[in-house]
Every structure is written in C-alpha cells, then in structure tokens.
Amino acid sequence: MSVIYILITVSIVVAVVFLLAFIKAVKSGQYDDDYTPSVRMLFDDELKKSPSKIIEVEKQKPI
Amino acid sequence: MDAKNCFHCGIEIIKKDEIIYDNKSFCCNGCKTVYEIFSQNDLSCYYDFEKAPGATPQEIKGKYDFLDDEKINTKLLEFQEETTNIVSLFIPHIHCSSCIWILENLQKLQKGVSTSQVNFPEKKVRITFDSSKTSLKELVYLLSSIGYEPYISLENFETGKKNVDRSLIYKLGVAFFCFGNIMLLSFPEYFEVEEFWINQYRGFFRWLIFALSLPSFLYAASDYYISAYKSIKSRMLNIDIPIALGIIVMFVRSTIDIVLDYGQGYFDSLTGLVFFMLLGKLFQQKTYNFLSFERDYKSYFPIAITKLNSDGTEIPIQVYDIEKADRLLIRNQELIPVDGILISDTTSIDYSFVTGEAIPIEKKSGDKLFAGGKIIGSVIEMEVLFSVSQSYLTQLWSNDIFQKKIDQKHKTITDKISRYFTPILLLLAAIVFIIWLFIDVPTAFNVLTAVLIVACPCALALTAPFTLGNVLRIMGKQKMYLKNAMVIEQLAKVDTLVFDKTGTITSNKKSAVEFVGNELSLDELSLIKNAMRGSNHPLSRKIYDFLPNVPKVEIQEFEEITGKGIIAKANDTTVKIGSAFLLGIIDEEMSQQTKVYIKINNTFKGYFVFDNQYRKGVIELFDQLSNKYELKILSGDNEGEKETLQTLLPKTTELVFNQKPEQKLEFIKHLQEKGKNVMMIGDGLNDAGALAQSNVGISLSENVNVFSPACDGIMDASQFSKLGYYLKYSKNAMRTIYMSFGLSLLYNLVGLSFAISGNLSPLVAAIIMPLSSITVVSFVTIMSNYYAKK
C-alpha cells in the first residue's frame, strides 16, 4: 500500500516542475507579448532562404 | 477608368503617375523603390502575407542628423557594451503580419544587424546591432526608406529600461498550482467513507494539503493583507479587510482542525478563493499597450533640432539644451520646439497638434512662433525666445494637476459597499458568537470562524473587476479605449459634458469647400485641378479632392511659391491660385474664413472658401444628450462661429470662446467646485490641462495610433456620434454591478444560515464558494454583453 506515497510524491513533483517551468517562462518575458509569437511561428523558414527562386518558378509557369 | 491599386501601399493609382515595374503597378517612385529593395534582397514574400501592406516612404533628408551625436545616441540605446547595441524603436506603421516578417528580417537588408524582434501589441521593434558595422542613424534611415519610419521624440530621452511588473502572473500561477493539487487531494475525504483505506492515509493527505496551502496563503494572497493593513491604518474600511480576515481565519481554523483531528479543514476553499480573486484582478488589468494615456508634450516634441552657429555651421542640439537667443533651423514637417521669432521671410505653420485646426497659419518675418507648430514648406530660421520648459504651451504642464499622481482620486464602488458590509459582518459575527457562548462554548468558536469564513466577500470582490473588465473590452472593440476600469465608474457619474470645438465637434479632415464666383468652364476646372496635383499644400489637396474628375491636361510650367500659392501654365493659359496678396486682389470683406483665390489669364474668377465642417451626427448627438446632461462648448478660437453654433445646437448649450489652455483648465475646475462631475472631450495639446482636470477626460483622435494628450480614454473620431451610447452603457454597467452585488449577498446569506446554525462542513463551503463565484461571474458577463447590444 505504501506505493501511494510514491505515487503522490511523484505527482506533486511533476506539478512543481510545471510550476517552475511556468515561472521561468514568465520571467523570461514570454507573457509580455502574447500576439507576435503566434504570427511568427507561421512564417516559413524555407521561403526566407530563397524566395527569389520560388518567385522565378512562379513567373515561369504562365509562360 | 478602372481603378488600380498600388502593389505596395494599396492607394488608388492615378493613371498618369502609374509606374510599371516587374509587371506590377505602383503609385509613385517611393513605393517602387521599396519594392526594388525587397525584391533585390529576396524579401518579396513581404507581399504574400498581406495585400499591399506597405507605406510610402517619406522624405527625411536631414531629419535625423541628430543621431550622429554620441550623447543623444547613448540616451536612445537600451543597451550598449563595446560594439553590441540594442535599441527599441516605436514604429506606428506596424499593423500586420507582413510588418512583423519584414522587420524581423532586417539583417538581410543591413549589415551589422544581428537580430530584430517585433512586439506587435506595443508596435515596437527591438534591434540588436553591431556598432562597428552600422549605426543607429543608418538603421533609422533604412527603416524610413522601407516605409517604417520610427517615431523618436523627446519622450524617448528619459525612458530607460522599464521594469515590467509581473508579480500578479506569478501569484496567479502559484495560486492555481496550490488550488489544483489541493482539490485533487481533498477529494477522498469529501465522501467521508469510513473506510480502512482512507483512515490509514488521512494524516498524510491532510498534512500534504496543509503544506501545499502555504505558498498560496503566504505568497499569493499577500496583496490582500497589505491592502487591508493600509486601509485599517488610514481608518477606511475597504473590501480587502473582510477578505484578508476571512483568509486568515480560514487558515487558522483549518490548521487547528487538522492538528486536533476535528476534520479536514477548509484549505480547498481557501486556495480556490485566492485563485478566483487573483483571476478577477488580472481580468480587470486589460490594457491597450499600443496606446499611451500618459503623454504630455514630450511625446510630440523632437529630441533634437538643428542649431545654427554664428559662423553659419549647423549642429544638432538637444532640445533641453536650447537657450534664449539661439538660432534654429527648422525643416519641412519638423516641429517648433520652443517659442521664438521667425527670421526667414514667410512660412506656414500647422498647429493641428495644438488646436486641432488643420488649416495652416501664415507667418511673416518678425512674427512670434509658438512651440508645437509644424513647419510646412521650406526650411526656416528662427530665434529662440524661451527655453523648452518656459514656452507658452509647455508651461501648462507646470500646473499642479500634472504633478500629482491621480491614482486614487475616486473611491471605487466596491469600497463604498464594503463600508457598510464590513461593520455589519463583524457585528453579526460578534452577536452570533455571544449567543452561542450561552449554548455551547466549543461550538461558539466553530460558529464564529464559520461566519467569518463564509462571509468572506469573494463573490462581492469579483463582481466589479469582471463587469468592468468586460465592459472595457467591449468598448475597446467599438474603438473607445479607456485607460482602466475605474474610468467606467466615473463615466456613469458624469453630469456635465464639455466639448472642445476645433477638431472635436468639427472634423479637421474634411473641411467643406465651396466655390464663390463665376461658374468655371470645364477647361478651366481641369486646368485648376491639374495644377493642384503638383502641390502638396494641405489646401491644395483639399481643393483637389473637392473638384470633380476632369480630363488630364499637361501642365507646362509650374511654380509653387511657398506660403502664397501656385502659378501654372498650360496651353497658353496661365492660372494663379493662392492668397489675395499673390493675385494682387484686395478683398474688402474681412472674414474669419480661409479663402483661396483663382485668377485665369489675369481675370479674377472667384475663390474657394473653407468652412469648418461639423462631424456627422453632432446635431443629433447634442439633441439627444441635452435632455440628460449639461452641455458646454469650450473653444480657443474667436467668436466667428458663435451664431452658427447657436442655431445648430440646443439652446441650453453654453458657448465659451477665446479660451487659453490655462483658462480651459480653470473653467473645468470652476465647474467641479460647483459640484459637477465633468467630462471633457478634446483633441489637441491645448486641451491637455482641461483633460487632466476633468473627472473623465476623453481625447478624440482621427487615428488612434497617432498621438493624443494625456487622458482617461481615447476615442476614435469616427465613433463620435456614439458618445451617448457609451455614456448609457457605462450606466448600465454600474446597474449590472448592483444587481450582482445583490446576488452575491444572497449567497452570503445562504452561507451564513449554515454557519450560524453551526452546520458549515468543509464540503458545504467547498461547494458554496466556487458556485457563488462562478454564478456571479457568468451573470455579469451575460448582462454586460446584453447591455452592449442594446
């Protein structure tokens, strides 16, 4: 039956880890701006590297 | 003519000016250049996220020369160490995802930039750069050249790194952690099954719960103890006293319960209560980051200006360092930072920042120039009369009203209620305790604590934050941005409305234009319209917009004489457009109105008159408001329009003219001394004093991203006619609060009946407390949304 002590301790430790993670996130300023990151993550990295090529390809299509 | 829009900025293209580049059409060279820069640097994705996201770059030559100055640079930088520099720039144009994308790819456009990060809600970009490879000035020029001109003003001069207060979020996190875990751990005991399994672990569970409640009790709820202590010290009974008392009693009683093995205690309710109340606080803390309600002249004024040395050299000088008798050079579109005397021949000055009046004023050599005006036209030279702080306009800010922090100038509604609630509660607890003492002494202590626990006005304390927070959001969606929730309470109390005239009840965008004189032929019209196109003078733009669409005529000769007018020639016809002086006409009628005269081939044809145009719906609004409110108009202008206003507006409206900024402030003060709750609606810097003095100061703005003086709320000018609706809505919001106060008191009564009879078990408490909070919160949310639709 003493397994209950272990289980509860583990569950509390997990919860504490999440609390600490939350505090760390707030401290690093992640909650100061809650809009920009939501847009930023939608930008495509590949497009950034060679957008000119992609545009060129697009241009060639109609011709 | 099919309307084509510029690929870069989205403005409709005038056929003649269309520039086709790379199969795309642009409205002007500026837009095309930006596109070129982007496409050369592989950044044309900019146009994929949003359609026509750009802005036309403005001419800024010489405007940022002050950034060469090392001292000014240092003030602007957020961080500086060896070659690593960080700067935060405010860019009003940031408005869409394309903006974020391009600004975060600055390193592709400029060597030396290592990272740049956009904060969208604040419209700021934070750039890290290497000062050995690039400079702040180069960065600013780059941003301006791609249409993202940063706004640098005197305000930037003083702000260092701001400390963000995040303690509420920490507390909320801790409170939620405690609340959640305790709820789970308390569950077995709710059922009170006398089972071997539960009995065996009871002690372990209880002490674990006790330990978990400590952070919530000691840290998360600490604000309530501090506030209660302060309020006792100042002998005022606010809502935090019964809350703090309830929390402490709850904790002590629960601890005793588990130590003496009476029961499981109320730790679950305790942590739940703390969590819900903190949530309410957060909800009320809605702020509009991109707006500032604390602006004074500093955010309008430039940080530095060009000074002319006696030997004719130009150096940038910080505005604070300007001294009397200095000679300053002010360029087109720059702001005059100090009072002075014009040395150059003539100039026109746009005082719309100050008065709301959009039509520029002409000044001649030797005329006095007041700080706050914007130069339109060519470069001027002026001699300084006063330093910044002593100038006519800036002196307003030395008034006391700007010195004191007006955080707690009003008592909130919750505090008012709790003035009655707290003593009644304490009295009731005492009476019940004494009665029970005669019946059963141990139960008496139980009942006393139970009363204090259950009466803890959690729902009461949640009502106002949730209602006001919600109303704040709803109003914000309708383009009325209030500084904080307290403004709504003030708004509901207002009984006198004071309006500024120019720029507030008149629109400074569309003045009505009228042509007086002989009717013009189509050829003449097209000649005038085409001549106007070349001019950037605000009056020319207005006449241009006013004239009907006409065929294009090639203008062969064009000359703009700054401050006087235009002379243009096409097909052997000469047209002169401008002031009476330019045309050599003497206008006998002395009038207050602005006129632009027309002469074609030396025959006088007539003139355009500009009339102040009242905003749409002003008359209806005043009619509607005059039943309930005292209305007044406070204008800095002369009495030129008194009669028109008298006929237009309800008879009860008081009209006051020729008011200086200080007089406006005094006027409001005088009304308040008579016991009025005054709301001031204004727009320019000259209303700043009145806005600060009034109970509610609302500043009207054509574009909320541009600047408005310090105030309690910023209203989008297009919503002006809805003012009556906002006032009514704020009243309904207060009604909602009263209704939900009733509701939460009802819960308190039910809880008290359990407590007084000595039957308050932890389970009952754990049900009543969250239940009351949730019903109250949903009630106020539904009600405030319902009233918003009405």
- CB–CB of A36 and B169 under 8 A? no
- CB–CB of B104 and A40 under 8 A? yes
Residues in chain B within 8 Å Cβ distance of A16? 177
Residues 185-204 of B with CB under 8 A from A: 185, 197, 200-201, 204
CA gap B430, B571 in Å, rounded: 100
Q: What local confidence, expressed as pLDDT, does residue A57 receive?
A: 44
- CB–CB of A36 and B121 under 8 A? yes
- CB–CB of B120 and A32 under 8 A? no
B285 touches chain A (CB under 8 A): no
Q: What local confidence, expressed as pLDDT, does residue B401 receive?
A: 63
Q: What local confidence, expressed as pLDDT, does residue B61 receive?
A: 66
Q: What local confidence, expressed as pLDDT, does residue B587 receive?
A: 60
Residue B566: its H or E element: strand B565-570
Nearest CA distance, A32 vs chain B (angstrom):
8
CB contact at 8 A, B568 and B553: no
Q: What is the pLDDT of residues B463-514, one digit of tens each?
A: 888 888 888 888 888 888 888 888 888 888 888 899 888 778 877 655 567 7
Which structure tokens are listed for B156? Answer: 């930037």
Select, from the ranges B2-16, B178-192, B294-308, B570-584, the one with the highest average predicted confidence (pLDDT): B178-192
Would the pLDDT of B303 be above 50? yes
Would the pLDDT of B362 be above 90? no
Q: What local confidence, expressed as pLDDT, does residue B213 receive?
A: 93
- CB–CB of B169 and A31 under 8 A? yes
CB contact at 8 A, B37 and B109: yes
Amino acid at B501: K
CA gap B85, B130 in Å, rounded: 6
Would the pLDDT of B43 be above 50? yes
* Confidence label for A62 from pLDDT (cuts 50, 70 and 90): very low
Nearest to A35 among B48, B101, B121 (CB): B121
Would the pLDDT of B145 be above 60? yes
Residues in chain B within 8 Å Cβ distance of A13? none
Q: What local confidence, expressed as pLDDT, does residue A54 receive?
A: 44
Residues in chain A within 8 Å Cβ distance of B99? none
Nearest CA distance, B280 vs chain A (angstrom):
18
- CB–CB of A33 and B208 under 8 A? no
Domain ranges of chain A: 3-60
The 3 state secondary structure assigned to B501-543 is HHHHHEEEEEEEEEEEECCCCHHHHHHHHHHHHCCCCHHHHHH
- CB–CB of B100 and A40 under 8 A? yes
Which of the residue ranges B147-161, B174-188, B410-424, B719-733 would you say has the lowest mean pLDDT?
Answer: B147-161
B79 touches chain A (CB under 8 A): no
Residues in chain B within 8 Å Cβ distance of A3? none
Q: What sign for the dihedral angle of Cα B82, B88, B94, B96?
A: positive
Q: What local confidence, expressed as pLDDT, does residue B562 receive?
A: 65
CA gap A3, A12 in Å, rounded: 14
Higher pLDDT, B772 or B708: B772
CA gap B252, A53 in Å, rounded: 71
CA gap B50, B212 in Å, rounded: 50
Higher pLDDT, B777 or B290: B777
The average pLDDT across B643-658 equals 81
- CB–CB of B201 and A4 under 8 A? yes
Residues 337-356 of B with CB under 8 A from A: none
* Confidence label for B295 from pLDDT (cuts 50, 70 and 90): low
Nearest CA distance, A63 vs chain B (angstrom):
13
Q: Which of B41, B120, B172 to mutate to test the interface with A (most CBs of A within 10 A)?
A: B120
The average pLDDT across B402-413 equals 56
Instruction: State CA A44 to chain mean position distance.
Output: 15
Residue with tokens 């100042």: B234
CB contact at 8 A, B118 and B94: yes
Nearest to B42 among A33, A42, A52 (CB): A52
Residues 36-55 of A with CB under 8 A from B: 36, 39-40, 42-43, 47-48, 50-52, 55
Which structure tokens are listed for B223? Answer: 């604000």
Nearest to A19 among B101, B119, B173 (CB): B173
Give buried/exposed letters for B71-99 (b at 16+ CB in 10 A, else e): ebbeebebeeeeeebbbbbbbbbbbebbb
- CB–CB of B200 and A42 under 8 A? no
Long-range pairs, B539-543, Cβ under 8 A, ≥24: B539/B359, B539/B360, B539/B594, B539/B596, B539/B610, B540/B566, B540/B577, B542/B511, B542/B513, B542/B610, B543/B513, B543/B577, B543/B596, B543/B608
- CB–CB of A36 and B44 under 8 A? no
- CB–CB of A4 and B42 under 8 A? no
User: Which residues on adjacent β-strands are paired with residue B364?
Assistant: B346
CB contact at 8 A, B615 and B506: yes
CA gap B283, B364 in Å, rounded: 55
Would the pLDDT of B532 be above 70? yes
- CB–CB of A8 and B185 under 8 A? yes
- CB–CB of A39 and B97 under 8 A? yes
Higher pLDDT, B455 or B341: B341
Domain ranges of chain B: 1-46, 65-150, 303-336+339-385, 479-506+615-731, 508-613
State percent of chain B over pLDDT 70.
89
Q: What local confidence, expressed as pLDDT, does residue B291 receive?
A: 67
Q: Which of B21, B86, B88, B97 to mutate to test the interface with A (most CBs of A within 10 A)?
A: B97
Select, from the ranges B35-44, B50-59, B434-443, B594-603, the one with the highest average predicted confidence (pLDDT): B434-443
CA gap B525, B527 in Å, rounded: 5
Q: What local confidence, expressed as pLDDT, does residue B590 receive?
A: 47
Residues in chain B within 8 Å Cβ distance of A43? 101, 104
Would the pLDDT of B292 be above 70? no
Nearest to A33 among B119, B173, B208 (CB): B119
Higher pLDDT, B158 or A13: A13
* Confidence label for B266 from pLDDT (cuts 50, 70 and 90): confident
Q: Residue B705 in 3-state DSSP?
A: coil
Residues in chain A within 8 Å Cβ distance of B100? 36, 39-40
Classified by CATH at the fold level, domain B303-336+339-385 comes out as 2.70.150
State percent of chain B over pLDDT 90.
5
B104 touches chain A (CB under 8 A): yes
A61 touches chain B (CB under 8 A): no
Q: What mean pLDDT is reported for chain B? A: 80
The average pLDDT across B153-178 equals 77
B180 touches chain A (CB under 8 A): yes
Residue A18, sorted as left (phi over 0), alpha (psi -120 to 50) or beta, turns out to be alpha
Q: What local confidence, expressed as pLDDT, does residue A56 receive?
A: 46
Residues in chain A within 8 Å Cβ distance of B177? 15-16, 18-19
Residues in chain A within 8 Å Cβ distance of B288? none
The average pLDDT across B581-598 equals 66
Q: What local confidence, expressed as pLDDT, does residue A18 receive?
A: 94
Which of the residue ranges B31-40, B406-415, B553-562 would you say has the lowest mean pLDDT?
Answer: B406-415
Q: Which of B22, B177, B204 to mutate to test the interface with A (most CBs of A within 10 A)?
A: B177
Q: How many CA atoms lie within 13 A of B434 on its CB side?
A: 5
Q: What local confidence, expressed as pLDDT, does residue A45 receive?
A: 60
Would the pLDDT of B248 be above 50? yes
* Confidence label for B311 from pLDDT (cuts 50, 70 and 90): confident
Which of the residue ranges B403-412, B652-661, B730-739 would you say has the lowest mean pLDDT?
Answer: B403-412
Which architecture, in CATH terms, is B65-150? Answer: 2-Layer Sandwich (3.30)
The average pLDDT across B37-54 equals 78
Complex ipTM, two decimals?
A: 0.75
Classified by CATH at the fold level, domain B479-506+615-731 comes out as Rossmann fold (3.40.50)
* Confidence label for B287 from pLDDT (cuts 50, 70 and 90): low
Chain B residue whose CA is closest to A38: B97
Q: What is the pLDDT of residues B611-630, one digit of tens each?
A: 666 777 788 888 888 888 88
Secondary structure (DSSP) of B265-307: -SHHHHHHHHHHHHHHHHHHT---TT--S---GGGTS-SEEEE
Chain A residue whose CA is closest to B204: A5
Nearest to A50 among B42, B200, B201 (CB): B42
A15 touches chain B (CB under 8 A): yes
Residues in chain A within 8 Å Cβ distance of B180? 15
Q: Which of B38, B166, B198 to mutate to test the interface with A (most CBs of A within 10 A)?
A: B166
Q: What is the pLDDT of residues B541-559, one digit of tens each?
A: 777 777 777 777 777 777 7
Nearest CA distance, B597 vs chain A (angstrom):
51
According to DSSP, the β-strands at B327-330 and B380-384 are antiparallel
The average pLDDT across B121-145 equals 85
- CB–CB of B173 and A22 under 8 A? yes
- CB–CB of A33 and B121 under 8 A? yes
- CB–CB of B45 and A23 under 8 A? no
Residues in chain B within 8 Å Cβ distance of A5? 204
Q: What local confidence, expressed as pLDDT, does residue B641 receive?
A: 72
Decide: residue B498, CB within 10 A, 0-12 exposed, 13-18 middle, 19+ buried: buried
**What CATH number belongs to B508-613?**
3.40.1110.10
Nearest CA distance, A52 vs chain B (angstrom):
5
Would the pLDDT of B9 be above 50? yes
* Confidence label for A15 from pLDDT (cuts 50, 70 and 90): very high
Chains A, B: CB contacts within 8 A come to 67
